[in-house]
Amino acid sequence: MKALIIVDVQNDFMPDGSLAVPDGDAIVPVINRISGKFDLVVATQDWHPPEHKSFASNHKGRQPFETIDLNGISQTLWPDHCVQGTPGADFHPGLDTRPVEAIFRKGINPEIDSYSGFYDNQHLKSTGLAGYLREKDVTEVYGCGLAGDICVYDTLNDALKCGFPTILIADAARALDEKNYETAQKDLLKNNGRIVFSTDIV
Ligand SMILES: [Zn+2]
């Protein structure tokens, strides 16, 4: 039972979005081409209230991409993005969502960010994704989406920690920072993850 997790393919992460991932829209046709080949497809959606503490705008005198301590952990401050119910939080209009059986929303608690589709950044609260995949008898978790070095990486890392054989589809993800993405890929491989290309999905 092979599952695909489509991570945060949302307008605000596209090249014209508020937290643009370079070339982010290039993955949409790639995902559309392969999603039908999986037994199960789920998606995650970054879904912040306007007062979310990961937004620089909610910290006086702070700028996006600065780092602060937020409730005991290091937090990068972002431009406002993926605000609940706004067009920026919608999936890219070209993404074929028909195969998506369930959507897991994250980043709802204003006090803590949530990069992974499984847990918040302090592993305090589960989204229920691991239990969902287990109940569906998933034996392999494939991941794609945005951003490769942040939310895709954290999602796949948590999939590995939850015990799922885990595979990154390299050309179906794009990174905010290429150097961080290289480190992230090495880390996934070190933790027994695998990396494939979309052409390997049959
Ligand atoms: Zn976010």
Domains of the chain: 2-48+88-200 (3.40.50.850)
pLDDT of residue 48: 98
pLDDT of residue 56: 97
Question: How many residues can be counted in the chain?
Answer: 202
Mean pLDDT of 119-130: 94
Q: What confidence tier does 174 reach under pLDDT thresholds 50, 70, 90?
A: very high
Strands 67-70 and 140-146: unpaired
pLDDT of residue 95: 98
Report residue 118 as tokens.
């499984």
Q: Please state whether the predicted TM-score (pTM) of the whole model is above 0.95.
A: yes
Report residue 147 as tokens.
């951003």
From CA 187, how far away is CA 193, in angstroms rounded? 8
Residue 98 CA, ligand 1 centroid: distance in Å: 24
Q: What confidence tier does 114 reach under pLDDT thresholds 50, 70, 90?
A: very high
pLDDT of residue 186: 97
Residue 12 CA, ligand 1 centroid: distance in Å: 10
pLDDT of residue 136: 98
pLDDT of residue 18: 98
Task: Return the active site residues.
Answer: 8, 106, 151
Contact (CB, 8 A) for 92 and 10: yes
Residue 145 CA, ligand 1 centroid: distance in Å: 14
CA distances, 59 to each of 114, 121, 179 (Å): 18, 19, 28
Mean pLDDT of 40-59: 97
pLDDT of residue 118: 97
Residue 108 CA, ligand 1 centroid: distance in Å: 9
